[in-house]
């Protein structure tokens, strides 16, 4: 079945999930997280754009390469307090990661059609921080 002309080039949300392991401690914090500890972080990245003539917004492999180069390779198996110039809370980190990915996508010539929509950083299987395009642009 072929898509009708009205269904071609629709905006579609595309999501990819990554994991990385890092250690940190929360400074200026009272509680067990003030001590050195680690997490297996799950990073979910969502972009939105119009599909091209093939029906693709962004190749999943390209999105993987971007996030691996810009985030995972820099922060996997690292002590985050040594690398990040702010308190290493999930809230601060998700905003920082959004900025990095957003800036990179804006520099790509072929990404004119693609906009970062949401980044979600899971610190544990039941706890995450999230920032959306709408909140980031405010």
By annotation, the residues acting in catalysis are: 33, 77, 123
> Other CB atoms closer than 10 Å to residue 109's CB: what's the count?
5
The answer to whether the CB of 58 falls within 8 A of the CB of 114 is yes
Tokens 């990095």, residue?
Answer: 100
Which segments within 51-113 are labelled E, that is strand?
A: 78-79
Distance CA 96, CA 53 (A): 33
Catalogue the long-range contacts made by 39-42 (C-beta closer than 8 Å, 24 or more residues apart): 39/123, 39/124, 41/121, 41/122, 41/123, 42/17, 42/18, 42/121, 42/122, 42/128
């Amino acid at each position: 079945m072929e898509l009708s002309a009205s269904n071609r080039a629709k905006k579609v949300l595309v999501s990819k999930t990554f994991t990385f392991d890092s250690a940190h401690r929360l400074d200026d914090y009272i509680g067990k997280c003030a001590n050195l500890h680690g997490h297996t972080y799950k990073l979910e990245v969502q972009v939105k754009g119009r599909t091209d003539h093939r029906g693709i917004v962004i190749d999943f492999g390209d999105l993987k390469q971007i996030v691996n180069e810009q985030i995972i390779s820099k922060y996997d198996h690292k002590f985050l307090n040594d690398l990040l110039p702010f308190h290493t809370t999930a809230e601060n980190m998700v905003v920082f990661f959004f900025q990095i990915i957003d800036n990179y996508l804006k520099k790509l010539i072929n990404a004119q059609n693609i906009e970062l929509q949401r980044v979600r950083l899971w610190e544990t299987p039941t706890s995450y921080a999230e920032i959306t395009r709408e909140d980031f642009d405010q």
